[in-house]
Amino acid sequence: MAFKLDELPYAYDSLEPAISSRTLEIHHGKHHQGYIDKLNKAISDTDYADYDLPKIIQASHEAGDDKVFRNAAQAWNHAFLWQSMSPNGGGVPTGPMADLIATSFGDYSDFTDKFRSAARSQFGSGWVWLTYDSGLLQIESTGNADTPIMNGKQPLLTLDVWEHAYYLDYQNERVQYIDVFLNELLDWTSAAAKLEKNNEAA
Ligand code: FE2
């Protein structure tokens, strides 16, 4: 089964000025599409072609099939990234998520300090994740295509810190891009829905 690129859940220009339409068009239409095209080519006529994306990620990771793994993981990570942002995002969460932030990190600024620090210190390309495990939230970063789901974890949010995500808008100022994500884009509603789903499945 060939994978297809889903449309974004919002218009290309709807995250402006935080993220320009041009950046989003290239990021979604070229980079994300490219990972899907390369994945389809790499799994064609293999056993992977019968699997869903998380299963391809886990199986190719275990087998050391780097080409399949990298493109499958990047296809999944980007689909997850689009769900992690919203035109009305950013700021302090409310409800159960606010309570979890307090239990897991302290106050909201402790959370943003930790998130910022993980995003700043990820050397080169990679991702920063908010994951949920054993009743607590955790922040972790991964290099290149690596993703928490390769270890069976379910993340709630992600930030892409590959340069292609921000270079046109912020050049080398990754710190500005991280702050804009936290203040204007991060979709707490989506994260809360994923948390609820995880709790129902547990
Ligand atoms: Fe990306």
Neighbours of ion ligand 1 (CB under 5 A): 160, 162, 165
DSSP for 60-98, written as a single string: HHHHT-HHHHHHHHHHHHHHHHHHTB-TT--S---HHHH
Taking only the tens place, the pLDDT of each residue in 44-79 is: 999 999 999 999 999 999 999 999 999 999 999 999
Interatomic CA distance for residues 176 and 104, integer angstroms: 25
**What is the model's pTM?**
0.96
pLDDT, tens digit, 9 for 90 and up, residues 119-142: 999 989 999 999 998 899 999 999
Cα of 100 vs centre of ligand 1, distance in Å, is 28
Cα 159 to ligand 1 centroid, rounded to whole Å: 9
Residue 7 lies in a domain: no
Which residues span the domain enclosing 187? Answer: 95-201
Task: Find the CATH number of the domain harbouring 48.
Answer: 1.10.287.990
* Per-residue pLDDT reduced to its tens digit, 145-157: 999 999 888 899 9
Domain's final residue, options 35, 56, 83: 83
Is residue 58, in this structure, part of any structural domain at all? Answer: yes
Q: How far is the CA of 165 from the centre of ligand 1 (A)?
A: 5
| Cα of 12 from ligand 1 centre, angstroms | 15
Q: 130 and 49 in one domain?
A: no
Do the domain assignments include residue 1? no
Determine the Cα–Cα distance for residues 35 and 32; give it in Å rounded to an integer: 5
Boundary (domain end) residue, out of 31, 60, 83: 83
